[in-house]
Amino acid sequence: MKQETLTITDNRTGQSYVVPVERGTIRAMDLRQIKASAGDFGLMTYDPAFLNTASCRSSVTFIDGERGILRYRGYPIEALAEHCTFLEVAYLLLFGELPEERQLENWVSEITHHTMLHENTKKFMEGFRHDAHPMGMLVSTVAALSTIYPEAKAIHDADNRLLQIKRLIGKVPSIAAMSYRHSLGFPYVYPDNDLSYAENFLNMLWKMVEPKYVANPVLARALDILFILHADHEQNCSTNTMRSVGSAQTDPYLATAAAAAALAGPLHGGANEQVLTMLDEIGSKDNVPAYVKKIKEGHGKLMGFGHRVYKNYDPRAKIIKWTAEQVFEVTGRNRKLDTALELERIALQDDYFVTRKLYPNVDFYSGIIYQAMGFSPEMFTVLFAIPRTTGWLAQWQEMLLDPEQKSARPRQVYTGEDTRQFVPIEQRVPAVVKT
Ligand code: ACO
């Protein structure tokens, strides 16, 4: 009979161990019993960047990177993008089920009534330099909400937790829009409760002197779809940060700010901004072959290509490509799309990219849409952070309710000096500084 176990023979001692295998995983702590001698600490695994380590059990998001599959709570991303609104998907991610009509109505109403910011938050934001990067403003302002809602520290109180979740989902678009208006030198716009989540965000961004802002329905729906696609992506860098910071029982505002800071990096959510810089550098589709050659020679990376998990076409990139066509019917075609399409065509035929399984990821086309909609590149990561806040919160809550989780604290393999004799300062030779 097939046994769900693994037998390990330690060649240092000749001893064998049997450890259980559950869902294709062994527990790292089962290795600790494997010792070379009596005083030995026990075997550990070494896994920089968590390439092959599951840090949690999660029922939120499923990804099959080899087959290009993404599901939230079991529902394929394609179906959710086609049939749902972002807030419906947010409900699904947080509570595990799609809401029925009445539940959705209440949920939308509750989020809508949490979009206002305390006037102190507005004043805080006014203090930023006129050219402050909106992502820096978002990270700092979300952290500052922790000072406005000190009761958020009671993270074990379910009602309190839910209130902070609603506040964060409601307020992050308001902060995002204000950070954008700040960079343009425009007055901040207050939320409009008559509008949907995406429409209200567009209202807070673009409203000028008209008494009522009316969003273009195609653009509002495109933004909502982009929000759905970006809502969660299991244990990526920022979600891991959310769980790691949250595991110290930090309040959700500070944990979300930390997660957003991780998202700001160019290898994570900052990549879409880099894609546009790259497309500008390439200039036109005729220059694509020379650019690809340069990349293959080791000069930089093709931004928006490759993914730690997807070794196939990112399913989100497919939907974004389709959404781009809808947006361009309203805004006119962005010339960069032709360069991007040519880049994709050439790269997907090239042995370098094929053998390394490098396909366009979610960031490859999103920046082109955002630019066509009128956003400047500094805003792109902020647009990613708005929906991902929901994913971070769903994962944070799951982590808090998981009895197996403790404060996250990895081990290390120490490679430094053994004990050294202390040398008084007057006897030391000039230090050779390692950087
Ligand atoms: N362009 C050219 N070569 C690449 C690229 C790329 N975009 N990505 C990976 N490679 C190459 C690497 O140089 C490496 O080649 P080698 O085996 O000859 O050394 C090989 O492919 C494997 O790459 P790794 O860096 O080991 O792959 P990893 O899974 O660690 O990296 C990552 C994933 C960070 C996303 C990487 O593909 C990358 O930097 N892409 C560009 C940035 C980007 O688009 N980031 C967005 C990711 S999606 C998101 O966060 C929302």
SS3 per-residue string spanning 164-228: HHHHHHHHHHHHHHHHHHHHHCCCCCCCCCCCCHHHHHHHHHHCCCCCCCCCCHHHHHHHHHHHH
Nearest alpha-carbon partner for 229 in 408, 50, 370: 370
Instruction: Give the count of alpha carbons within 13 A of 9, CB side only.
Output: 2
By C-alpha distance, which of 311, 309, 300 is closest to 353?
311
Nearest CA to 273 out of 74, 167, 134 is that of 134
pLDDT tens digit string along 416-431? 999 999 999 999 999 9
Q: Give, using CA atoms, the residue closest to atom 9 of ligand 1.
A: 306
Going by alpha carbons, the residue nearest to atom 14 of ligand 1 is 356
Report percent pLDDT > 70 for the chain.
100
Is the CB of residue 303 below 6 angstroms from any atom belonging to ligand 1? Answer: yes
Q: Does the active-site annotation cover 307?
A: yes
Q: What is the pLDDT of residues 291-300, one digit of tens each?
A: 999 999 999 9
Residue 301 in contact with ligand 1 by CB distance below 6 A: yes
**307 CB less than 6 Å from ligand 1?**
yes
Q: Are 240 and 399 in contact (CB under 8 A)?
A: no
Residue 19 — pLDDT band, cuts 50, 70, 90?
very high
**Residue nearest atom 43 in ligand 1 by C-alpha distance:** 304
Q: For residue 188, how far is its CA from the centre of ligand 1 (angstroms)?
A: 39
> What is the distance in A from the centroid of ligand 1 to the CA of 385?
22
Q: Which of 272, 389, 398 is nearest to 324 (CA)?
A: 272
* One-letter identity of residue 2: K
Distances (CA, A) of 428 to 169, 424, 435: 56, 7, 20
Residue nearest to atom 24 of ligand 1 (CA): 308
Q: How far apart are CA 206 and CA 214, in angstroms?
A: 10
Average pLDDT, the chain: 95
Residue pair 230/144 in contact by the 8 Å Cβ criterion: no
Phi and psi torsions of 287, nearest 5°:
-85, 0
pLDDT in tens, 130-166: 999 999 999 999 999 999 999 999 999 999 999 999 9
**307: CA distance to ligand 1 center in Å?**
6
> For 213-244, what is each residue's pLDDT tens digit?
999 999 999 999 999 999 999 999 999 999 99
Tokens at 27, concatenated: 């527990």
Q: pLDDT confidence of 268, banded at 50, 70, 90?
A: confident
Ligand 1 mutation pick, 50, 52, 282, 307, max ligand atoms within 8 A of CB: 307
CA distance 156 to 246: 12
Structure confidence at residue 336 (pLDDT): 87
- The predicted model gives 174-198 an average pLDDT of 95
Angle at which helix 158-184 crosses helix 134-148, to 10 degrees, equals 140
Per the residue annotation, which of 114, 251, 307, 314 is the catalytic one? 307
Distance 374 CA to ligand 1 centre (A): 29
Q: Write b or e for each residue in 133-151: b if 16 or more Cβ atoms lie within 10 A of its Cβ, otherwise e.
A: bbbbbbbbbbbbbbeebee
Ligand 1: which of 236, 301, 361, 381 to mutate, most ligand atoms within 8 Å of CB? 301
Which residue puts its alpha carbon closest to atom 17 of ligand 1?
356
Ligand 1 centroid–CA 101 distance in Å is: 42
Task: Quote the ligand 1 centre to 6 CA distance (angstroms).
Answer: 32
For ligand 1, whether the C-beta of 362 sits within 6 Å is: yes
Position 8 confidence tier, pLDDT thresholds 50, 70, 90: very high
* pLDDT over threshold 90, residue 267: no
Distance of CA 297 from the midpoint of ligand 1 (Å): 15
Q: Once rounded to an integer, what is the mean pLDDT over residues 28-48?
A: 97
Q: Is the pLDDT higher at 162 or at 183?
A: 162
For ligand 1, say whether the CB of 306 is within 6 Å of any of its atoms. Answer: yes
Return the pLDDT at 402. 98
Res 2 pLDDT > 90 = no
Give the active site residue among 192, 268, 338, 402. 268
Q: Is 76 exposed, middle or buried (0-12, 13-18, 19+ CB in 10 A)?
A: middle
- For a ligand 1 pocket test, name from 267, 350, 353 the mutation site with the most ligand atoms within 8 angstroms of its C-beta: 267
Q: Tell me, using a 6 A CB cutoff, whether residue 358 lines ligand 1.
A: yes
> Does the C-beta of 302 come closer than 6 Å to ligand 1?
yes
